Structure 1
């Protein structure tokens, strides 16, 4: 998509074991008084974390007139977990929707998210993000991000509203934003670990303690130096979630052991969030940890199958291998599908990953299809007989299911699970078929510190904001409730990052 102005197993255990080497809980940081502190550096705004939220905050701060903003990243490369996400961006009332005759609105997007949030999502935050999603999308386009010339309808969304980068991952956004940050004068520093806040006598955050020369991979490898950075306007925490902190996630859900796969970058460990809690930030929705129902047990991390599945779910069927029948609405919200997949077990109660069946004719339209087949994390079959034999699926009910589903494609009405068949129109299941196995992986933490629509961190003791402290992205909790809809994290991160910058600059 060209630059436009939008505003006018391989083995089951091997697959799951990708998180087995994950680090335990990180060492706790500590905050100190500014009294007697020797400042090594002074900036107007210090941003901790270089994912979508941090990069958007940096760009917006510069645009709002900030003369000195630095983004500090603890890992050796910039982009954080954002760089390896699916590159999916939901926004309402976009030009592509209008071109394709899709009726959408801020209200409709918010209602879809509230439904997925099961009564505990923060409507004010959702509405704020949906209302400014186009601005954030425009920021990516202006920076040079490119998107496929089609919209996707992800699970839980009532209409197609999702853009995806042409490289089908978040790097298609983080790299252009990183380039834009440098272009507008944002200072970027990697291998710098957040150690804690520095507070004045009134408890206002006036700076941060950092370790320069930090090596996440081997803490003994670098020559670390602790520095004190003064932030005269404020600090923005954009440190992401804690999905790779096995101890913390197990404290919320004991089933999320190290044997459960994870799609996140290894640095998603939550120490920035911990320190905000120490200051008195309100913990919210910590137990709501989302698993991605599009993941595969046959590859590590996010892999190739995830984006392939997300694209193909609307015109595919998910089948329980014990029964040969569908067991869910393939585009329901993530929690509904993940729970349904986890219920797929063999006669002894062991996990039996279900399969997703797609016509190769339609599957090959996604660029990941070739890689899925090339690397053996997906299979191609010339007949249902071959497919059923390979996966030990009862053939007769499978054939009946495919015939029944094709009837739904023809009628436009899914009588089994109420799936929206708009994206399946004319896409019948027929040979040859491609198949992938499905099994959820820990993907997103709905929990974190509570913020308001100004991205200010709220104090659990006073109910007011913690002076000088702002948060954006996955480190902030409560927005999405029980289940976040796919493609809503990028607008969340970017809009709240931009909002934090505007709040600090008084815009």
Structure 2
């Protein structure tokens, strides 16, 4: 391979182009020649699909909104909910980096000022939990500002799946990726190569010195003098790895982008990197729809979820990752199938169109919940009685009727005696967005007695796998004995998460990926080798 200064030699090479672009920008803005390679034709990864919520306690946008927060406030919260599932040193590095990162990004006009929005933390009542939440979002971006770079950005999820035309403004993850790409390229030290997929890491004397990649059918090599950052997402689109690490959880239900097949994870494992939490994902219930992957649907407005025995088994308004974990735990431990889960509701759900169109993660597709189309595809069932509906979905009629009647009693009394639905800030936020019932004292509970009755299928989807390569608090990849693999860093879903098995709040995945990508870049900028 060529020596320093040639076209295939860089200071930093970043594999993956989602939130890792923030790390690429941090490196390039410090004067490091930085290459980003992306396996697919687009930059952005699953981050480009997302709402781009960013969970980074104590940031400047929170302060502007008057939210009293910071590492000392958030530390007890993370300690309480994560426990021993990840090293405390990772949480500490995350808490230190977050405010500094946002302050640095906001100094560049390309990023603008992030905006705080009141999305409650996902574990209400734990020490340090904020009912008003910590989540911030990037400002929207006029698509025209990207100029010739615009075609590089991954299309919105609903464009890719439903063919909806892109609008003139980028929002959410589109805006975050667009802004990061602009800022990165304008440093004068950034290069992006799409359609270039990692095949293996190059190691010399125990140090990672570069990468071999497949580009346009040809094997190429890129050297990295300061280090390699693996930020290529998880393995959610790899059926073989999912069966190996998450038996029974299919890759057919994921929301992750098509390129996320675990190439970076495998490359790290091939050179002896340690791994952790490979059985984990950022889970989310998925509503089965015709002709495409399930829709990420955070929680119900009305109705209940029942298993194959016709029994209700959880608060249907739990934050999505908690709901997904409950589904999986019940499915694996009870001897009764919970995959799919049956969402049973009545005419009121359809009468309140906001309950389908108004939620922020609902498809940005006019009329996407077409009842007749859903019925014709067999993904929705309709009946004039609960007994008839039970027969259609294959659950015991008596059990379903009993579950609905018990829930109706809770709705009339205003308190969910079994699962506490309607008691946490998240539950109430969903009601505020989607409207509320008027037939009971608790707006999160509504009587199910207005025929016809319906049943839709809920499966265990995810926003990506979350287990990966073990790192230290500098984002450096470790061996099983705890020693550092020199020259190799990881972040995002390629990295074993600082949050362990939990999802602390909206924007946890994007915020953590940004933070550790930034940590890696700063460490590489400071490294002298």
User: Structure 1-normalised TM-score?
Assistant: 0.73
Aligned with 1:62 (options 28, 35, 44):
28
Please give the secondary structure, in 1, of the residue aligned with 2:43. Answer: coil
Secondary structure (helix, strand or coil) at the match of 1:294 reads strand
Q: 1:466 aligns with which of 485, 488, 493?
A: 485
Match of 2:267, SS?
Answer: helix
Please list, as runs of the form range in 1=range in 2, the aligned pairs for 1:84-99 lying within 5 A after superposition.
Answer: 84-94=49-59
Give the whole-Å Cα distance in 2 for the aligned partners of 1:373 and 1:208: 44
The match for 2:266 is 274
Provide the rounded CA distance (Å) in 1 between the counterparts of 2:425 and 2:406.
22
Correspondences of 1:380-459 after superposition (within 5 Å): 398=404, 401=407, 404-405=410-411, 408=414, 415-418=417-420, 420-423=423-426, 428-430=436-438, 437-459=457-479
Corresponding residue for residue 232 of structure 1: 225
User: Match of 1:284?
Assistant: 276
Mapped partners of 1:343, 1:460: distance in 2: 32
Pairs aligned (count): 446
Whether the 8 Å CA contact 2:202–2:210 is kept in 1: the answer is yes
* Alignment partner of 1:162 is 2:123: no
- Quick check: 1:506 aligned with 2:526? yes
Say whether the 8 Å CA contact 1:316–1:330 is kept in structure 2.
Answer: no
Does the 8 Å contact 1:233/1:504 carry over to 2?
A: yes
Asked whether 1:127 is paired with 2:120, we answer: no
Per the alignment, residue 5 of structure 1 pairs with: none
Matched, 1:178 2:151: no
Q: 2:387 & 2:66 partners in 1: Cα distance?
A: 43
Equivalent position to 1:294, from 285, 302, 315? 285
Deviations 1:88-141 (A, max 9, x none): 222324566567775544345444444544631222212322332234445666
SS in structure 1 at match of 2:286: coil
How far apart in 2 are the matches of 1:150 and 1:386?
42
1: CA distance between counterparts of 2:271 and 2:51? 33
Per-residue CA deviations over 1:445-493 (Å, capped at 9, x if unaligned) read 23211111111111335x3211222112111115232333452111111
- The 2-side partners of 1:59 and 1:291 are apart by 26
Rounded Cα–Cα distance in structure 2 between residues aligned with 1:506 and 1:285: 30
Does the 8 A contact of 2:233 with 2:464 survive in 1? no
SS at match of 2:287: coil
Aligned counterparts of 1:164 and 1:406: Cα–Cα separation in 2:
38
Matched, 1:493 2:481: no
Contact 2:122 2:426 in 1 (8 A): no
Q: 1: CA distance between counterparts of 2:495 and 2:371?
A: 36
The 1-side partners of 2:12 and 2:498 are apart by 25
Query: What is aligned with 1:71?
Result: 36
Say if 2:115 and 2:136, in contact at 8 Å, map to a contact too. yes
**C-alpha separation in 1, matches of 2:353 and 2:322:** 27
The equivalent residue for 1:250 is 243
2:8 counterpart of 1:41: yes
- Do the aligned partners of residues 299 and 240 (structure 1) sit closer, same or farther apart at CA in structure 2, a change above 3 Å counting? farther
Residues 284, 397 of structure 1: CA spacing in aligned structure 2 closer, same or farther, 3 A cutoff?
closer
2-side partners of 1:281 and 1:350: how far apart? 35
**Separation in 2 of the partners of 1:468 and 1:80?**
24
Equivalent position SS for 2:494: coil
Aligned mate of 1:354, from 316, 322, 342: 342
Q: Distance in 2 between matches of 1:422 and 1:317?
A: 19
Closer/same/farther in 2, CA of residues 233 and 397 from structure 1, 3 Å limit = closer
Of 355-364 and 81-90, the range deviating more from structure 2:
355-364
Task: Name the CA distance, whole Å, in 1 between partners of 2:363 and 2:509.
Answer: 27
Q: Which residue of 2 aligns with 1:199?
A: 203
Q: How far off its partner does 1:74 sit? A: 1.4
Instruction: Provide the rounded CA distance (Å) in 1 between the counterparts of 2:112 and 2:344.
Output: 31
Change in Cα spacing, 1:370 to 1:106, as seen in structure 2 (3 Å) is same
**CA distance change for structure 1 residues 241 and 398 in 2, over 3 Å: closer, same or farther?**
same
Distance 2:63 2:387 in 1: 45
Please give the alpha-carbon distance, in whole angstroms, between the structure 1 residues aligned to 2:135 and 2:94. Answer: 15
Q: Which residue of 2 aligns with 1:29?
A: none
Q: Per-residue displacement from partner, 1:55-78 (whole Å, max 9, x unpaired)?
A: 011110122222x11111111111
Q: State the alpha-carbon separation in 2 of the partners of residues 484 and 376 from structure 1.
A: 28
Q: 1:131 to 1:255 in 2, by over 3 A?
A: same
RMSD between aligned residues:
4.2
Quote the Cα distance in structure 1 between the aligned partners of 2:426 and 2:455: 19
